[in-house]
Amino acid sequence: HKQRKVDFRVLVATNRDLNHDVKEGRFRMDLFYRISVITLTIPALREHNSDIEELVHYFAEQIARRDGTLPKKMDPDFINVLKKYAWPGNIRELQNAVECSYLMCETDTLTSKDLSDEFLSMSCKEVQSASIKDRLSSDDNLSLEDAERIIIASALKTNKGNLTKAARQLGIAKSTLYLKLEKYGLDRNLAIASN
């Protein structure tokens, strides 16, 4: 056996708080101190959404280079929809959303219409959920019935008046939803008309 001298560096990435894990006995202290020479904390994408536009352009250029085409232009609405989303899957989820949009786009400009239905549905529910929370928390005198009416109206709007889907989203039976629509004087057709 011949010995060879090797010079290398170890780069370790984790989404866990290793300091805490060491204190709790879930991570070996000796290993922690061996690997933690320099610690860089990278914030989640939702905490620096000002980078989203630059990242989207970067991914678009990568795709164009890979496919041997010119990069597509970006409609401002496309970027705005992406900036409003919380990105629980972080940068990989953003990259996949751009890739999917690129594949769906039939013109030279990416628009919000090129985003997948699944993404738009998640994004819409997230924005609406935040909007509902704002409305509910802004009025300290809001009754339980008023809050329920707001939530039901929002579910109807999200699901374009489809009672089956709205009931499923609310976690109630369709018959219960009918009773609540009657109780609060809500009309599912108003939800359809407002879209």
- Domains of the chain (ranges plus CATH)? 45-119 (1.10.8.60), 139-193 (1.10.10)
**Mean pLDDT of the 61-73 span:** 91
Confidence band, pLDDT 50/70/90 cuts, at residue 185: confident
Query: What's the pLDDT score for residue 139?
Result: 58
Confidence band, pLDDT 50/70/90 cuts, at residue 194: very low
**Mean pLDDT of the 134-145 span:** 63
The reply to whether the predicted model has a pTM over 0.75 is no
Tell me how long the chain is: 195
Contact 35, 27 (CB under 8 A): no
Query: What's the pLDDT score for residue 113?
Result: 85
% the chain with pLDDT above 70: 83
172 has a pLDDT exceeding 50 = yes
Q: At what angle do helices 174-184 and 163-170 cross, to 10 degrees?
A: 100
